[in-house]
Structure 1
């Protein structure tokens, strides 16, 4: 298994876990969203975006352009999460979206070099 495949699979699982946690309304996910002022009506679309991105990364192993688009979309998603935290002045929690942005960016970079 190549490093690109391994990183892609691990990233997809990580982002997929985040999407499923939001979809199932896990308290550790939704409690901060309330504090940040993210409307409840956005929660399902945000969860779907994460799940679609995770699926897109996996599909990208067979159809590279899908993986690249999914990776780019996820980078934008997690950059948006960082902006949301900064706007909410929750500076101590900015590390959390970085925990997702970093492997997504690595996956995207590996896909671009493949």
Structure 2
């Protein structure tokens, strides 16, 4: 279980850092999508910080499991909010990516608890 947590945690952390970076540099594709569902530009740095913090927490969680579990809970909650925001914004096409990341966060959480 530990090795599975490491693999899922590292891959999810890479995706989170990439997504956070895209928000920080205001990648046009990301900004356009966020605006279309009603997310103000002023939220982008905060959302990026949450993603990067989640990534760091997952990576540190390899060595200190309670932090990894807490980070995975935060990632799950973040992406529940993202899925809900896409649904409320009537952006069904934009829902799969946060949905997959929600499932990856749930996998990291389950594996983190199982290998603690």
Distance 2:42 2:104 in 1: 28
Distance 1:2 1:96 in 2: 25
Give the 4+ runs in structure 1 shifted more than 6 A: none
Q: Which SS does the other structure have where 1:101 is aligned?
A: helix
Q: Quote the residue 2:42 is aligned against.
A: 41
When the two structures are superposed, what TM-score results if normalisation uses the length of structure 1? 0.94
Give the C-alpha shift of residue 99 in structure 1. Answer: 2.3
Residue 63 (structure 1) aligned with residue 55 (structure 2): no
| Structure 2 unpaired stretches of 5+ | none
Distance 2:107 2:79 in 1: 13
Residue 99 (structure 1) aligned with residue 97 (structure 2): no
Q: Which SS does the other structure have where 1:38 is aligned?
A: coil
The CA deviation string for residues 88-107 of structure 1, in whole angstroms up to 9 with x for no partner, is 11112211211211211111
When the two structures are superposed, what TM-score results if normalisation uses the length of structure 2? 0.93
Q: Which SS does the other structure have where 2:39 is aligned?
A: coil
Aligned length: 114
Distance 1:63 1:56 in 2: 9
Distance 1:72 1:4 in 2: 14
Distance 2:67 2:12 in 1: 15
Q: Quote the residue 2:75 is aligned against.
A: 74
Q: Quote the residue 2:86 is aligned against.
A: 85
Q: Quote the residue 1:19 is aligned against.
A: 20
